[in-house]
């Protein structure tokens, strides 16, 4: 399938990615939330339970496992606000590949520390996503590292598509059980892969992308019909630190256009409420970025009224600083 000049990721590519990464990633469970009676709750695809704490591990392994021996020997560089950093550092540590990660100086302390503890060399830059892309490109040119894209690559999109395969296969009601899947959008790799795989498996599944209202570049792009970029200062307004990429990718965008049904927004208060609800009700830790999808799914925002048990929110990550978690839990 193509759209414009872009080759869109096929279901075969997603299945190949699944075979490749399966030995290294967790097939995360679908955990019910808000069930008044058995089987009546919204389902969370609990990617916070990956050993790196977020879904990004799938794309990191899919990319690193595809590299030639020579590329593996030279090492890799990645740019990330946090979860891709931890994922690449983790996969590099498992596979014996050296990793350099460009991160914003204001990334959550927990993400910076985990990345360093896993053995990666961390290079700190300013908070804008454009700035870290430029620094990573510079390191590719000067050091010969291979870049591990965070979202704008077919390997990443195929890897995130594996989340849709597992979700559809594992729904307790069997095939046809999933009506709506909610995913956060930043660079768009997750939404692109989940939507591409879901629609090619079962065109009846509705895929809704979710963004913080105060940092809604993909929502603006969706409305304008072209990629809209927002300033870094505006993106910094959301507590969802994983969703501050200033514009969606050139490859993720045609996937969003081809396969995503709608993009909606949630408020900061709704995100905090979702972090708290997930902790109390599902006994899971969600970081703000990972709770945006839950916030929209709880409301059915962008859905078409499917019963909660047929809605799945991808809880994308749980790497949260203790102070932020405490604040969400106590409402202070
Ligand atoms: C927890 C979490 N959820 C969602 C996303 C969004 O993923 P993407 O950039 O593929 O849209 C990220 C990106 O870093 C993330 O860290």
pLDDT tens profile 273-304: 999 999 999 999 999 999 999 999 999 999 99
Atom of ligand 1 nearest to the CA of 151: 10
Which among 133, 294, 316, 319 is the best mutation to test ligand 1's pocket, defined by most ligand atoms within 8 Å of the CB?
316
Q: Which of 104, 114, 181, 289 to mutate to test the pocket of ligand 1 (most atoms within 8 A of CB)?
A: 289
Identify the helix (H) or strand (E) that includes residue 266. Answer: strand 262-266
> Is residue 71's pLDDT more than 90?
yes
CA of 128 to the centre of ligand 1 (A): 16
Using the atom order of ligand 1, give the atom closest to the CA of residue 189: 10
pLDDT band for 40, please (50, 70, 90 cuts): confident
Query: DSSP secondary-structure letter at 66?
Result: H
Q: What is the pLDDT of residues 184-222, one digit of tens each?
A: 999 999 999 999 999 999 999 999 999 999 999 999 999
Report yes or no: 54 and 89 within 8 Å, Cβ to Cβ: no
- Tell me the CA–centroid distance for residue 299 and ligand 1, in Å: 21
Q: Which atom, in ligand 1's list, is nearest to the CA of 187?
A: 9
Distance from residue 258's CA to the centre of ligand 1 (Å): 20
- Ligand 1, atom nearest to 183 Cα: 4
Q: How far is the CA of 281 from the centre of ligand 1 (A)?
A: 23
Residue 90 near ligand 1, beta carbon < 6 Å: no
Q: For residues 59 and 155, is the Cβ–Cβ distance under 8 A?
A: yes
Checking if the pLDDT of 155 tops 80, the result is: yes
Alpha-carbon distance of 107 to 130, in angstroms, equals: 15
Compute, in angstroms, the gap from residue 243 CA to the centroid of ligand 1. Answer: 6
When pLDDT is cut at 50, 70 and 90, the band that residue 229 belongs to is very high
Measured in whole angstroms, the distance separating CA 101 from the mean position of its chain's CA atoms is: 18
The per-residue pLDDT of the chain, averaged, comes to 95
pLDDT of residue 34: 85
Q: Is 289 helix (H, G, I), strand (E, B) or coil?
A: helix
Give, as one character, the DSSP assignment of residue 181: E
| Pocket lining: 186 vs ligand 1, CB cutoff 6 Å | yes
152 lines ligand 1 (CB under 6 A): no
Write out the DSSP string of 5-53.
TEEPPPHHHHHHHHHHHTTTS----EEEES-SSTT-SEEEEEGGGSTTS
164-181 average pLDDT score: 96
pLDDT in tens, 316-327: 999 999 999 999
Please indicate whether residue 238, judged by its CB atom, sits closer than 6 Å to ligand 1: no
Which residue's alpha carbon is nearest to atom 14 within ligand 1? 242
- pLDDT for res 175: 86
- The pTM of the full predicted model, rounded to 2 decimals, is 0.96
User: Which atom of ligand 1 is nearest to 156's Cα?
Assistant: 10
Ligand 1 atom, smallest distance to 84 CA: 14
**What separation in angstroms does the CA of 139 have from each of 7, 17, 134, 185?**
28, 27, 9, 27
Assign 332 a pLDDT band (cuts: 50, 70, 90): low
- How many angstroms does the Cα of residue 196 sit away from the middle of ligand 1? 17
Q: Is the CB of 187 under 6 A from ligand 1?
A: yes
The sign one gets for the Cα dihedral 104, 109, 111, 112 is positive
The whole-number pLDDT of residue 3 equals: 74
| pLDDT mean over 62-80 | 96
- CA–CA dist 288, 174 (Å, integer): 30
CA distance 246 to 230: 5
């Amino acid at each position: 399938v193509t759209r414009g000049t872009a080759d869109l990721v096929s279901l075969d590519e997603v299945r190949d990615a699944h075979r490749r990464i399966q030995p290294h990633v967790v097939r995360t469970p679908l955990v019910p939330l808000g069930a008044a009676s058995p089987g009546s709750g919204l389902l969370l695809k609990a990617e916070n339970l990956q050993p790196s704490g977020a879904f990004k591990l799938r794309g990191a392994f899919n990319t690193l496992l595809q590299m030639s021996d020579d590329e593996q020997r030279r090492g890799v560089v990645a740019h990330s606000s946090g979860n891709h950093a931890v994922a690449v550092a983790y996969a590099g540590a498992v596979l014996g590949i050296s990793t350099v990660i460009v991160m914003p100086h204001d990334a959550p302390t927990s993400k910076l520390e985990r990345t360093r503890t896993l053995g990666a060399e961390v290079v700190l830059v300013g908070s804008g996503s454009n700035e870290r892309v430029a620094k990573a490109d510079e390191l590719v040119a000067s050091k010969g590292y291979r870049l591990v894209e965070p979202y704008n690559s077919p390997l990443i999109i195929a890897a995130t598509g594996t989340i849709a395969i597992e979700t559809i296969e594992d729904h307790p009601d069997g095939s046809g059980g999933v009506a709506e899947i909610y995913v956060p959008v930043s660079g768009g790799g997750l939404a692109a892969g989940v939507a591409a795989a879901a629609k090619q498996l079962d065109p009846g599944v509705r895929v809704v992308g979710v963004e913080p209202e105060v940092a809604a570049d993909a929502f603006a792009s969706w409305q304008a019909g072209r990629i809209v970029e927002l300033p870094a200062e505006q993106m910094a307004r959301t507590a969802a630190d994983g969703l501050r990429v200033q514009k969606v990718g050139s490859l993720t965008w045609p996937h969003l256009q081809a396969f995503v049904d709608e993009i909606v927004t949630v408020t900061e208060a709704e995100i905090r409420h979702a972090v708290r609800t997930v902790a109390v009700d599902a006994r899971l830790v969600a970081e703000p970025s990972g709770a945006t999808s839950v916030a929209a799914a709880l409301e059915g925002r962008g859905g078409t009224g499917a019963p909660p048990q047929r809605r799945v929110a991808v809880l994308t990550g749980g790497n949260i600083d203790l102070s932020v978690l405490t604040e969400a839990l106590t409402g202070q």
